[in-house]
Amino acid sequence: MTVPTEKPVPSNAWLPRKDWLWLVAVMLTGTLAISSQSFWMDEASTATIATQPTLASWWHVLSTGLGSDTQMPLYMIYIWGWVKIFGAAEWVLRASNLPWLLVGFLALPRRQPGFVLALALSPFLWYYLNEARPYVMQISASLLLGGALARLFEMPAVSAVPVRRGEGLWTMLFCCGLVTLSGSSMLGMLWAGAMVLVFPLLLGWSRALHLVRRAWLGCLLTAVSLGGLADYYLWTIHHGNGGTQGATGVANVVFIVYELCGFAGLGPGRGDMHGSGVAAFHAAYLLPLALYALLLLAVVWFGTGPVLRPAPARVWLGLLLPVALMAGCILFLAVIRQNTLLGRHFAPVVIVLLLLLGAGLERLRQAGGWQRTLALVFLGLSLVSAASLRWCERHHKDDYRQAAALAIAAQAQGQRLWWCADGTAGVYYGVPLSPARSPVAVPGKAWLIADPPAAWLASNTIPDLVVLSKPELNDKRGDLRNYLQAHHFVCQQSFSVFKIWAHP
């Protein structure tokens, strides 16, 4: 993935025979990353929309929600079609990411071992392969965009007819990447805007205009599609749709870097970080995190030269400046709109890190000796981080399936139940819930409460059981926890960000 000093004519072979082994390895690691753990609340929302029987009901559920799901139109129609073919079990729904991983791999212009290993062992990629959300789709679209740009950059500006046909093909694939990334989510469209700026800055304005003229029909259709998506996203904003409400500050920026760079598996689980913040980083985590940080910096340092040095300044500035500009705009919008930003919202940017890591690993591999050992140790720690995200209990997803099973069993025994957790996930797993924001418990149903006022709690009969998840989200003022303490509730069970409180 290094930038060449000369522009060789690319091979006509789409997938050389030697790359089939890499393809199998990447798809196998992608399959290993996927689990059958319970859906957490965002995935349950995806599953609720995807399991609608008709397009009319799909659109009704999608368009009436107030979260960010409405702002993921292409991903939501894709996952709806996937469910109709393969079903909606947890593993199956997450396996919808594998075709996108395949597309991303095929888009790579030169499948050097260093870059392929950086991709296959990326903890960030492993985590989101195991999630039924659009982030692997976004990574794949970014790889497609990057691969198309790399191939166009390598082609001579004036050449023979076969290469000109290649120009048209890769220009069209670049357009497909733009539409895919833009349709994956509203944030994806902002990142696609950065790639539109990269196109002329990397290739030069005259070459970019030449390519647009040669593929004018595809470019026109792309512009129409992007205009339609922009109009749709404006409609969703007008109807109150948006991301998670909350503050975005320095801590969010640190966590974004922490997650993108692959530290997450070596540190505490997300539930612990939600509840305890910095205090969740016990001494046992510090050594592996520090070692990984040093190795990461070393590999990136070795990769920076091969990527930046051979290319003129306009090339790497044309790549980095639009991405940095868009990242700044997204952070600014999140601050003024009071939306919470996390690493997943920067998923398309991970290819920049993978490019540097891949170049660094390739340089270290070729150098041999202690440098190759350094690369192997870094890859080993990356694998440990990725495997930890997949198998360690502290990184398991919010277990709504188990919480729902306990709630259903309690209700079958005639117990009164309060459900202070996500309502969509509860309904998906079969818990009969009262209407959202209802001030009173409904007989025969679990009372759905989220951040309930103290007056609501005092006016209802004391329950037998309370299901509480992520109090920092569902009991922000602490009124429910004060109620539980005042009425001497005891914690009956605790698992995966859930606590089950029982009245003695």
Along the 504 residues of the chain, how does pLDDT read in single tens digits? 444 444 444 444 556 777 888 888 899 999 999 999 999 999 999 999 999 999 999 999 998 876 889 999 999 999 999 999 999 999 999 999 999 999 999 888 777 889 999 999 999 999 999 999 999 999 999 999 999 998 888 887 654 444 455 788 899 999 999 999 999 999 999 999 999 999 998 888 899 999 999 899 999 999 999 999 999 999 998 887 776 677 778 888 999 999 999 999 999 999 888 878 888 898 899 999 999 999 999 999 988 877 666 667 767 777 888 889 999 999 998 888 888 889 999 999 999 999 899 989 999 998 889 999 999 999 999 999 999 999 999 999 999 999 999 999 999 999 999 999 999 999 999 999 999 889 998 888 999 998 889 999 999 999 999 999 999 889 999 999 999 999 999 999 999 899 999 998
Same domain, 425 and 391: no
**In 3-state terms, what secondary structure has residue 491?**
strand
Q: Is 292 inside any structural domain?
A: yes
Q: Using an 8 Å Cβ cutoff, are 267 and 394 in contact?
A: no
**Which residue, 106, 114, 107, 96, is CA-closest to 30?**
96
Same domain, 391 and 404: no
Angle ∠(466,471,473) on CA atoms, nearest 5: 125
Same domain, 239 and 317: yes
- Residue corresponding to tokens 């740009």: 149
CB neighbourhood size of 44 (10 A): 24
What pTM was computed for the model?
0.92
Rounded Cα gap, residues 206 and 203, in angstroms:
8
Same domain, 76 and 93: yes
| Residue 249 DSSP label | -
Same domain, 458 and 353: no
Same domain, 237 and 97: yes
Same domain, 274 and 413: no
Rounded Cα gap, residues 226 and 63, in angstroms:
20
Number of domains in the chain: 2
Last residue in a domain, options 395, 424, 456: 395
Q: Is 7 inside any structural domain?
A: no
Rounded Cα gap, residues 323 and 325, in angstroms:
5
Q: Is 5 inside any structural domain?
A: no
Same domain, 288 and 412: no
pLDDT of the residue at 54: 96
Last residue in a domain, options 357, 378, 395: 395
pLDDT of the residue at 502: 97
| Residue 448 DSSP label | E
Same domain, 298 and 208: yes
The domain of 181 spans 17-395
Same domain, 101 and 215: yes
Q: Is 99 inside any structural domain?
A: yes
Same domain, 180 and 323: yes
Q: Say if residue 183 is exposed, middle or buried (CB neighbours under 10 Å; 0-12, 13-18, 19+).
A: buried
Last residue in a domain, options 363, 395, 427: 395
pLDDT of the residue at 8: 44
Q: Is 379 inside any structural domain?
A: yes
Q: Please provide the DSSP assignment of 202-216 as one string.
A: HH-HHHHHHHHHHTH
Alpha-helical regions (H) of 399-444 = 400-412, 423-428
Q: Using an 8 Å Cβ cutoff, are 129 and 101 in contact?
A: yes
pLDDT of the residue at 165: 58
Same domain, 429 and 291: no
Q: Is 47 inside any structural domain?
A: yes
Rounded Cα gap, residues 388 and 284, in angstroms:
14
Q: Is 12 inside any structural domain?
A: no
Q: Is 158 inside any structural domain?
A: yes
Which structure tokens are listed for 320? 């980095």
